[in-house]
Each structure stands twice: as C-alpha cells, then as structure tokens.
Amino acid sequence: MLALWNKVWRSIPRAAESLAALLRPSAYTCLQCGRKDHFAAASIPLLCRECRDSIPWIVRIHCAVCGRPDSCGDCARRHVAAFICNRSAVRYNDTIRQWLALYKYRGHEGLEPVLGDMLLTAYKRLLQEMDNRQERFRIDAVIPVPVSQQRLQERGFNQSERLAGYIAQHDAIPLLDILRRTRHSGKQSFKTRAERLTDSRGLFAAEETAALQLFDLNPGRRLRLLIVDDIYTTGSTVSACAEAIREELKKHGSAIPAEIYSITLARS
C-alpha cells in the first residue's frame, strides 16, 4: 500500500507541472489573487507561484472508501455502500473554499481550467490505484451531480458538470447528465451533518429519457460509472446519486453489475 502511495505521490509533481505549464510566469494577472499591477489581456488561466503552492493536495489517503486524508468514522459506520469509493484532489481548506466560492458564486469561470486540472489529478490517481487492483480498469461514463433548476438559472452553469467535462474530455468518456434534483434543497453549508444525511435521501432521480443513454454504453463485464462533484462532505450526496442510478438500472432490469465510483475536487 505504501509503495503504491509513493508511486502516486511521485505523479503529483507532474500534475502540478501541467498546471504550471498553463500558468506561465507572472507578468500577467494571477487568476486567483487577481493582482493587477501588470495589466494583462491574457485570457488563459494563470496562477502565481504562491497561489500554486497553496494548493492543499491530498497526498496520503487514510480511508480507502472516502479518500479522506485522516481517519474517518463515517465510512466505518456505514453498512451498505451505494458506491465503491471516492477520491478527492485536495483538502477543503480555507484556500479551496475561497477558490470554489469565487468560481461558483462569483462566477469566475476563468478559474475552471485550474480546478479541472486539479480534479484530473484525483482521477488519474484513481485509475492508477484501480489498475493495480484489477485489470483494464476503465470508466464507462462520467455523471455529474446536478444542481437545482433554480440554482442553474442563477449561476448559469453547473460546476460539477463543467468539472466532469474535463475528465470526459481527457479520456474521451461519455458525459451523461442524467440526474435531476427532485427538490430544491437549501444551501448545504447551512445545515448540520445529520440534516444533510436525511435531507439528501431521495434528493436525486435519473431522468427517464436521458438515462436511456446508460444502455447505449458498451461496457465490459461490468458497468463502471463515475460520479463527479465539487465537494465531498458526508458522502450523502454521492450516495443519493449512486442510489438513484442503481434504481434506474434496476428499473430497466439491467443484468450487468454496476460499479459506481466518485471523484470530487475537495474533501472536507
């Protein structure tokens, strides 16, 4: 296990470099801290060195289920997992909270490539990890966690769908936007843990017609689906999404066993 993580760890600098490649030296405005001393018309994503160094990468995973870097009570308590495991790129600390707020609430979509790149790091690690366990590990489809219609109208985009797009594009995997929110739940951040857990039960459902795309996939012995979200907190959102997908598969009497994984940008 340790050897595996060493290997994974070694891959991180490379990911950071690809990030760096996007982010040429800072004669430009840093996308993140937005210092404008050097007025630049650059539209490619740029971070200054300090912002890059402040990314709290998760380098060592403690809980094999949820990908948390510390020990974890949630997963031990849970009986039936609707999904196999979650992996996250970074810890959800103040820095990441700010970045995500800037992206989601402020609508700084220019940050997207940076976040997408960070998410890809977690995805590549998941592949590597799974490759070691089983042969020919491949994800058949990426499924973003949906936002409510109201949120979509305010924001203009669904961050999970956008981020999922980076994975879909990277490996040419279909992106299936098949889930819908059954009700508009309030802001997650205002709720207690227990509230979140009960609230998200039955919060998602697959959209009938869109979900048919699931059956157009051409999986191997098993169907491997990847749920993508921005933040993993209690796992209730991912669980609810996974359940909704399983429900839909069951409804259509699908015979192929499904494995559901999850990737999020941040783990809180």
Partner 1 sequence: MRVALYVVLLSAGSKAMWSIAPEVDQAYWLDAQYRGEAERIFRQQPSPLAEGLLLWPELLPLGIAAAVAGQWPAGDNEPPDEAAVRAALERLVSDAWVADAGGGAAAQRAPVARAELVRGASERGVDREDARALAARARRAAALLQGRALLGSEALALLAAADAAGPAAGAAQAPWRAAAPALQLAALLGQLRLGGAVAPQPQPRLLRWPLAQRAGSRRLLRCQRCGSGEARMRRTPCAICGRMCNYCEACLTMGRSRECGLLILGMPAHRAAPLQQAAPASGSCSERLDRWQLSPAQAAAAAAALQYIEGGYPTKQKSFWGRLCKSLWGAGERRSAAPDTLDSARRQFLLWAVTGAGKTEMIFPLLEACLERGGRALVATPRRDVVLELDPRIRRAFPRAKVVTLYGGSSQRWESGEITLATTHQLFRFREAYDLVVIDELDAYPYHNDPMLHYAAYHVCASGGCTILLSATPPAELRRAADQRRLAHVRVPVRFHRYPLPVPVRIRIPAVMQLLQLSKLPRRLVQPLKQSIDRGAQLFMFVQQIRHVGPLVQRLRSAFPHISIDGTSSKDPERSEKVVRFRERSIRLLVTTTILERGVTVPRSDVFILDADGRLFDEASLVQMAGRAGRSKEDPAGRVYFCAPAYSRSQQSAIRQIRGMNKLAQRSGYLLPKGMQPAKLPIEK
- For residue 218, the partner it binds in partner 1, Zn ion, none, with Cβ less than 5 to 8 A by kind, is none
Long-range residue pairs from 134-138, CB within 8 A, at least 24 positions apart, any chain: 136/220, 137/224, 138/171, 138/220, 138/224
**Judged by CB under 5 A, does residue 32 bind Zn ion?**
yes
Q: How far is the CB of 42 from partner 1 (least distance, A)?
A: 9
Which is closer to partner 1, CB of 78 or CB of 108?
A: 108
Do residues 96 and 266 make contact, with C-beta atoms less than 8 angstroms apart?
yes
* Residue 124 CB neighbour total at 10 angstroms: 20
Q: How far is the CB of 35 from partner 1 (least distance, A)?
A: 8
Q: How far apart are CA 111 and CA 114, in angstroms?
A: 5
* Residue 19 CB neighbour total at 10 angstroms: 19
- For residue 126, the partner it binds in Zn ion, partner 1, none, with Cβ less than 5 to 8 A by kind, is none
215 torsion bin: left (phi>0), alpha (psi -120 to 50), beta (else): alpha
Site string for partner 1, 29-58 (x = CB under 8 A): -----x-xx-x-x-x------x--------
Tokens 């042969």: give the residue: 135
- For residue 226, the partner it binds in partner 1, Zn ion, none, with Cβ less than 5 to 8 A by kind, is none
Which residues contribute to the site for Zn ion (CB under 5 A)? 30, 32-33, 48, 51, 63, 65-66, 68, 72, 75
Which residues contribute to the site for partner 1 (CB under 8 A)? 34, 36-37, 39, 41, 43, 50, 106-110, 152-153, 155-158
